[in-house]
Structure 1
Amino acid sequence: MGLNLQCLNRSVKSIRRYGKVCRACLNDGYRCKVLVVGGGAGGCSVASRLARRMEPDDIIVLEPSRLHYYQPMFALIAAGIRPSMKSHRPMKSVLPKGVCWVRDQAQEFDPCNNIVITKCGKKIEYDFLLVALGVKNDYDKIPGLRHALNYPYSGVCTIYSDAYSVKTWCCIRNFRGGHAIFTFPKTTGKCPGAAQKIMYLADDYWRQEIKMRSMANITYNTGGPVLFGIEKYAKELHRVVKSRCIAVNYCTDLVALDDGKAVFEDGNGTKISLPYNFLHVTPPMSPPCCLKACQSLVNEAGFLTVDQHTLQHTTFPNVFGVGDCTDTPNSKTAAAVAVQSAVVSRNLLSCIEGKPPQYKYNGYSACPMMTSYNTGIISEFLYDKKICETFPFDQSKEGRLVVYLNKYVFPYLYWNRLLKGKYDGPANIRRLINPLGK
């Protein structure tokens, strides 16, 4: 597909016509220079960066949620390490001052006419668009899952939601033996390490606190063919699961919950029903329906098609993407968003000035995975699974540093640096303390 230069020319002409294209509230909607769709980590970070270089009232953030969640905190809530109240703050407090927050959600994209229509029927005209919608949990793709999650005594839980994270902690504390199953789907999801993190923490809690691990069998069923996508870290995780007597089944995808049993499908299409006393589910995930419906913006799976380095759309040059909703082949984590937001904001500003995007995203992502309440590993890598570690030691080996980072450093960086557009990832730290890299 070629770039749609007509859309970019229309944006440039609009800028020339209006001079500075300030936000204007119209009878049926709004007009702005930059529209940010989504108020998650990527949307807030890019909006903050742009607001320092542009007039804030030239920017609109379209986001329906009243609260902003720090999602990596969900696993700590589920393990009893942090209270639920620490995972969120009011959306208004994390958005940059002066930026217009439209508390509504996108219903329809019309990139050829530079328009987004909201659920309430408002029309937002833009010159440049940033799509930062993330992905949604598709609970209903697994029959019986939503009902089981909402039933207090089902033993079924997940950390991929703030509300269900609290239930997960209740299920872990109340577990008294039997079969505990943890799942990960074969479809693309965010933070693949989180599903294992809560498993290791639950195992440690059952060993140390209530001392009933000998009465439990733990199984990890993943829809994928490997335990972790990077061989160096997978090797250490294999050692961890072996030492904890955790059974791992590959290419085994959860497809239904039926009468107290979890139904899995293996790589040959054979269905297997397993009884459980505790079931942690990582739900399948996909981009929001409003994005998937706009075929000119997305691939077959519904992800925004962008250049994996510049994060500019492959057809519409005035459209950019950041975070989990894009089709970039990196692991979807908050660490990836930190680097992406720095790249995309600079490239977007270049395009506003009529220049081509010059900054490149290298695929950086990180997964700081706690393997117990006191230890963990820190995986860091780029595109093509190239290792890119920050610290001058082997981060694949279990150590105590990751616990301190998860509990204190990362939350501070998220709320005070990333969302304010002041954190570009650990590259500068790496150059200081580990100049040779790994």
Structure 2
Amino acid sequence: MDTIQGLEARSGANGSPSGATERAAAVLIVGGGAAGITVAAALRRHRPQLPVTLVEPSGTHAYQPGWTLVGAGVFSLAQTLRREETLIPKGITWIRAAVAAFHPDENQVEFADGRRLAYRHLVVCPGLQLDWDKVEGLRATLGSHGVCSNYSAASAEYTWKCLQEFRGGTALFTQPPMPIKCAGAPQKIMYLAADRWRRHGLPRPAEIEFCLAGDALFGVPFFVPPLQRAVDDYGIGLRYRHTLKAVHGPSRTAHFTLTDAEGRTREVEKRFDLMHVTPPQSAPDFVKASPLANGAGWVEVDPATLRHARYANVFSLGDAAGTSNAKTAAAVRLQAPVVVRNLLAAIDGRPPEASYDGYGSCPLITGYGKVVLAEFTYGGEVTPSFPLDPRKPRRSAWLLKTKLLPFLYWNMMLRGSEFGVKHRARRFAEAHPA
């Protein structure tokens, strides 16, 4: 088996290694999404001479929080996509390859083609995987027969087409068992659809159902009342403990497993005219099968320091990390500075010096121009950034969601800026004195 022991400080134009040296990668980042790019950029800011290698197979970077707005006709898909090479900081080596396995006892990662790369310190942030095939027939029918999903760049535009062409009948919106990324997204598009159909009118009535595997509308009870009011206002039927198992596009039928209060299950068939599906999600298979994983398959880290519980030179953040926070880009924004500081401390032989409080943010869209800005930390502690009742849908939060947050993502977060981080750190320290 070939081993790549180290790489030069720059990559070729196609993202392949331009040459090899006898050194291991000083810092190896697996994953070039929001977490990987942000950490790489921050490392360049804090320690410009530190050799950093980033492994990412895709040539396209997506602003995934924007896909709900693509499905609602507010954004174009092109607005959410950029070439990966334009976002990787100068001086960072990019290996455009897929990781197949981790060998942390040997300080190596293995690529899909069998090559290995050694490292001194590792940052694991490959995101999570969408398990489309766990729903029978879903992959085959997605993007046709009224079956859409904002969780896929390939079908988000089809969601908007479905919303426009819907003439009434039954519209199903699904949510699988947790955890998933952006837990509010399955119902955001539902409220936007209901709002659009109300504003534009339909030839026949719409029966909207939210079929969710859990038994609560949202994981933080503080924010349930405004969501329940939206459900009641739009006349949406809540179908708790419904887990989607199969879809047949041509007949427009969906099969759910319904679990009752006593734990008994039975199959329920529903016909639909439109169905927005949120697929089951899990850690990437190469993470699940690795020594880095916890019992649930996620990277086993200390929830505060984001350092691995058993491998001191390994850190993780983003969707793949085994932490209980909401899996959102907002969480990454607060996790990245913690990882960077603690990683540099580890390189210098110092103990961890930064702590992540579990912050996550979920702008809960309840209609066009209306957003409930949900912000919370570990344990569901509500931590609003503004001196306003965060349960009230506001147009200002809509402008934040549609205008300011995308700008901050592309122009500040991915460039390693730590806007707002020190302020939140001070608030956390004041609320949790040593």
Aligned equivalent of 1:344 = 339
Distance 1:254 1:107 in 2: 29
2:150 to 159, 166, 174: 159
Identity of aligned residues (%): 38
Distance 1:213 1:365 in 2: 40
Contact 1:189–1:286 (Cα < 8 Å) also in 2: yes
Aligned equivalent of 1:270 = 266
Q: CA offset at residue 361 of structure 1?
A: 0.3
1:130 to 101, 123, 135: 123
Distance 2:119 2:18 in 1: 12
Q: CA offset at residue 110 of structure 1?
A: 0.3
Distance 1:326 1:71 in 2: 18
Distance 2:113 2:22 in 1: 10
SS in 1 for 2:67: helix
Aligned equivalent of 1:173 = 164
Amino acid at match of 2:221: E
Contact 1:335–1:425 (Cα < 8 Å) also in 2: no
SS in 1 for 2:53: strand
Distance 2:397 2:287 in 1: 36
Which stretch shifts more, 255-264 or 228-237?
Answer: 255-264
Q: 1:430 to 1:53 in 2, by over 3 A?
A: closer
Matched, 1:217 2:210: no
Distance 1:28 1:38 in 2: 23
Amino acid at match of 1:265: T
2:358 to 356, 359, 363: 363
SS in 2 for 1:204: helix
Contact 1:22–1:57 (Cα < 8 Å) also in 2: no
Contact 1:158–1:165 (Cα < 8 Å) also in 2: yes
Q: 1:235 to 1:347 in 2, by over 3 A?
A: same
Matched, 1:281 2:284: no
Q: Deviations over 1:81-128 (max 9, x none)?
A: 011110011101111111000000101110001001111333211000
Q: CA offset at residue 292 of structure 1?
A: 1.2
SS in 2 for 1:371: strand
Q: What's the RMSD between the two structures over aligned residues?
A: 2.3
Amino acid at match of 2:208: I
Q: 1:55 to 1:238 in 2, by over 3 A?
A: same
Q: CA offset at residue 260 of structure 1?
A: 2.1
- How do 1:197-346 and structure 2 match up within 5 A? 197-209=188-200, 211-212=201-202, 215-258=205-248, 259-267=251-259, 268-294=264-290, 296-346=291-341
Q: 1:349 to 1:429 in 2, by over 3 A?
A: closer
SS in 2 for 1:308: coil
Aligned equivalent of 1:144 = 137
Aligned equivalent of 2:14 = none
Distance 2:422 2:220 in 1: 20
TM-score normalised by L of structure 2 = 0.90
Contact 2:77–2:153 (Cα < 8 Å) also in 1: yes
Q: CA offset at residue 187 of structure 1?
A: 3.4
Contact 2:31–2:125 (Cα < 8 Å) also in 1: yes
Aligned equivalent of 2:75 = 82
Q: CA offset at residue 252 of structure 1?
A: 1.0
SS in 2 for 1:264: strand
Contact 1:116–1:123 (Cα < 8 Å) also in 2: yes
Q: CA offset at residue 270 of structure 1?
A: 1.0
Aligned equivalent of 1:61 = 54
Distance 1:80 1:327 in 2: 34
Amino acid at match of 1:146: R
Amino acid at match of 1:123: R
Q: 1:427 to 1:409 in 2, by over 3 A?
A: farther
Contact 1:203–1:213 (Cα < 8 Å) also in 2: no
Contact 1:64–1:103 (Cα < 8 Å) also in 2: yes
Q: CA offset at residue 430 of structure 1?
A: 10
Amino acid at match of 1:226: A
Aligned equivalent of 1:7 = none
TM-score normalised by L of structure 1 = 0.90
- How do 1:15-94 and structure 2 match up within 5 A? 31-55=24-48, 58-94=51-87
Amino acid at match of 2:257: E
Give ranges in structure 1 of 5+ residues lacking alignment. Answer: 1-13
Contact 2:176–2:244 (Cα < 8 Å) also in 1: yes
Aligned equivalent of 1:5 = none
Which stretch shifts more, 27-36 or 141-150?
Answer: 27-36
Aligned equivalent of 2:373 = 378
Q: 1:41 to 1:217 in 2, by over 3 A?
A: same
Distance 1:395 1:60 in 2: 40
Q: CA offset at residue 214 of structure 1?
A: 5.8
SS in 2 for 1:72: helix
Q: 1:29 to 1:291 in 2, by over 3 A?
A: farther
Distance 1:306 1:254 in 2: 31
Q: CA offset at residue 402 of structure 1?
A: 1.6
Contact 2:35–2:318 (Cα < 8 Å) also in 1: yes
Matched, 1:191 2:182: yes
Aligned residues: 412
Give ranges in structure 2 of 5+ residues lacking alignment. Answer: 11-16
SS in 2 for 1:419: helix
Contact 2:9–2:92 (Cα < 8 Å) also in 1: no
